[in-house]
Structure 1
Amino acid sequence: MVSDLIDPSSNSWRTEMISDEFNQDDVLPILSIPLSQVGIDDRLVWYHTTDEVYSVKTGDNADEICQDFAFGLWRLWKNRNEVVFNGIHGHPLEILETWRKSTTKYRAFVAPEPANNCHRVTKPITDYGKTSGMWQKPRYETIKIYTDAAWCKNTMHMGVGWLGRDFAGLLQATGGSGVGYCHSAAAAEAIAIRAALMACIDHRFDDVIIESNARSIILMLKKEVVIDFSIECILGDIDILEQKLMSVSFAFVSREGNRAAHSVAKYVFKDRRSLTWDCIGPAFLFNFLA
């Protein structure tokens, strides 16, 4: 049973058991499959249409199907050329992942800019749009949370970091984890946001702005682009965690404006531990925050 491979106390894969029981080529792909941290219910997923009915006349997803088809043909042609001219045989999972990344990047690029004051029905969420590289203070009593991830394609190892600052720019808490695996950089960025929300609950930050330089993930969370089904488990967790806070908003921040969270992600990635710091923070953050 798959459930036997999962540690119920931590909602994580039993790494040693999987390493012992499966072929080594299959270990990392299994460990990289995302697991729910809050226990979302299993459900059938149909993301092509809102009414769960699809026909050749369906127009909502026609463009996306054409995009998938076009990028798929291009990826197959590129792989064919690698085999014929260079003798390189790509792994099927890597080919599929590259195909998925190409379509995701394209859709994020052509997606319209978020509209102002785009609210969810379930709770007040303000669209702060794209932020600059300079510090922009939030409202009084609002905590701004920055998130980022570090991920290695070869080992699928990841590190996720987050930090929270108040309206005066003072650090309230920071932390991250470098003990997990995931199948893509997008998954790592989504996991970083999930970790940040869990930390907000632990620290009783009820009014927060979550900022990330992963534009595609932010658009998915705002329901402005089609959700990537490969990380739907993580996004489902985020949706549930949101409901436990008074107010949550998501915004895209430039990479330049997200250096502090990136430094935390890199630190835990190399250290391979889960760490949390209080308002004093670690020494390597001082210059970034200053």
Structure 2
Amino acid sequence: MERMNDRLATLQLFVTVARAGSFSAAAREVGLSQPSVSRAVAALEAAVGTALFARTTRSLGLTDAGRIYLERVERILADLDEAGHLARGTGELRGTLKVALPATFGTREIVPLLPAFLAGHDGLTVDLALSDTRADLAAEGVDVALRLGPLGDSTLIARRIAAAERIVVAAPAHLRRAGVPATPAALADHPLIAGPGAGQAPVWTFVRGAESVAVRWSGRIRVDANDAATAAAVAGLGVAVMSAWGCRREIEDGRLVRVLSDWTLGEVPLSALFPAGRATAAARAFVDFLVARFAGTTRRDAVTR
């Protein structure tokens, strides 16, 4: 039993070193001397039979084998921790839950929900990685990623949470100046604010009953963050096409107006992605919580939720 505990302690120390990026930083974190930490890691490498860290006089980084080993070790330690909680039957979530999610959507829709999710889980820490760039779950140690839009092919485990309608919006000042488009074709007379999902040559297909109209128009301003696209629309720089989640507040307070509301542009799905072979109790509970909170929130509902 003592030998098993020593091995687990060594694995936990390996994870600490990998995340800290140096033996000295890890030593300070765990309260050991730097030589003790270095010797423990060297002994682990000898037992594994390969180098886990690439060492230089100025840096310490994981080797390819080390990155693979880290992913598996973190999974094992998380599973052991989860097994202990299940055995005790407490139902309390502990540890750190790392969530990767789009910046605008995360700030507007997810952060306000965290108090309700964290209630009763004092031992749980939530680490939000807010970015419009899609994270590499394994490389970045992400427990669950929230994605907007089509997922494409992936080896990751996916679960659909909800969907919001894709809509056309503009500032009242812009519409007074340029006119309110009465048909999709009239959008050709308006400058487009192209957000991160617009593509190089935006083509939007509008549907109304049996009618279908494809509209292509060039952008006046391009941005790589959804929040910037919303801000540009509020500033009157043109017309934007975005998820209803991205501009709900601005529509509610009158800073943006929806146009062509009798036409549909499809929906933007919200999905949760788990690393292959790994879905922690905290990650599953978080997604269950979001599914319940967003239940029934699809298409037009997202504008007024």
Q: What TM-score range do you get, normalising by the shorter chain?
A: under 0.3
Structure number with bigger Rg: 2
Q: TM-score, normalised by structure 2?
A: 0.24
Q: TM-score, normalised by structure 1?
A: 0.24
